[in-house]
Amino acid sequence: MIYVEVFGWCALAIVVLLFTTWLISLRLADASIIDPVWGLGFVVVAWVARIVAGGHGVPHRQDVLVALTTIWGLRLFVHLAIRHRGQGEDFRYRRMRRKHGDRFGTVSLVTVFGLQAVMMFTVSLPVQVGQVPDHPSGLGVLGVIGTAVWAVGLFFEAVGDWQLTRFRADPGTAGTVLDSGLWRYTRHPNYFGDVCVWWGLFLITAATGVGAITILSPVLMTVLLVKVSGVPLLEYSLRKRRAGYAEYCRRTSSLVPRPPRRTIDPSS
């Protein structure tokens, strides 16, 4: 019964948050505000699940899940909010707005905010299920491994975003490719970090046994970033806009960090 309560209240919190965000986006004529709210939504889910589970859960595991989710979500929220400030609506939503005209508000409620709500609920399953009692009573070996994987993920995501922000702020780098720092070893350190964060949270919850069913969460996040809305869309744009990006792709791993490949100079 406690699972039903946790799922129900978390679903309600997500709906209220994203419906409110949709109303604000109509007022601002800017659907891009959904992007920073994505990270904030998981913080809300973590705390709602913690409050609903209450004394029914294992405080040690609960506290770790809430803390790790809050740190990750607030960092992402602040980073994307600062990046979006003064930038106007993202080109993806401007294109949708031109296509649907006066119907954009209704269409965005379903295809943007509604879809994000479904994904947020699904991806956050380890954070929800991990609040409910089960054995072991502590983190266990698998939980410790999960915490370490989460830490690696946060490092790659935060440092990768910081390096990219500095690169974009330098007028001398306009039109060039960032291939230093973490970006020397992977074309998408922030995406790699995001994947690790959710596999880490899954491992913490999987230690309970029943938590293993939440594997849908990291699998969905990995597929979305690698095959759907992350790498493919971004690289399609970068290949057209950045000279030398195709060569960068040939020598640099798409996701998992590794030393760059050696390339042969055709003029030699």
pLDDT tens-digit map of 88-118: 888 888 888 999 988 999 999 999 999 999 9
Q: What is the pLDDT of residue 268?
A: 38
67-81, 94-108, 249-263: which has the highest mean pLDDT? 67-81
CB proximity list for 127: less than 8 A, separation 6 or greater: 42, 45, 46, 49, 65, 66, 69, 201, 205
Chain centroid, CA 186 distance in Å: 17
**Nearest Cα to Cα of residue 157 among 128, 200, 215:** 200
Buried b / exposed e along 6-21 (16+ C-beta atoms within 10 A): bbebbbebbeebbeeb
Give the whole-angstrom CA distance, residue 62 versus residue 138: 10
- First vs last C-alpha separation in the chain: 70
For the stretch 197-215, pLDDT in tens is 999 999 999 988 889 999 9
Q: How confident is the model at residue 160 (pLDDT cuts 50, 70, 90)?
A: very high
Mean pLDDT across the chain, nearest whole number? 90
Higher pLDDT, 240 or 258: 258
CB 131, CB 65: distance < 8 Å: yes
60-64, 120-124, 178-182, 221-225: which has the highest mean pLDDT? 120-124
Q: How confident is the model at residue 137 (pLDDT cuts 50, 70, 90)?
A: low
Q: What is the pLDDT of residue 264?
A: 52
Q: How confident is the model at residue 266 (pLDDT cuts 50, 70, 90)?
A: very low
Q: In Å, how far are 2, 77, 242, 258 from 192, measured between CA atoms?
A: 33, 18, 22, 12
Q: What is the mean pLDDT of residues 150-170?
A: 95
Q: What is the pLDDT of residue 108?
A: 94
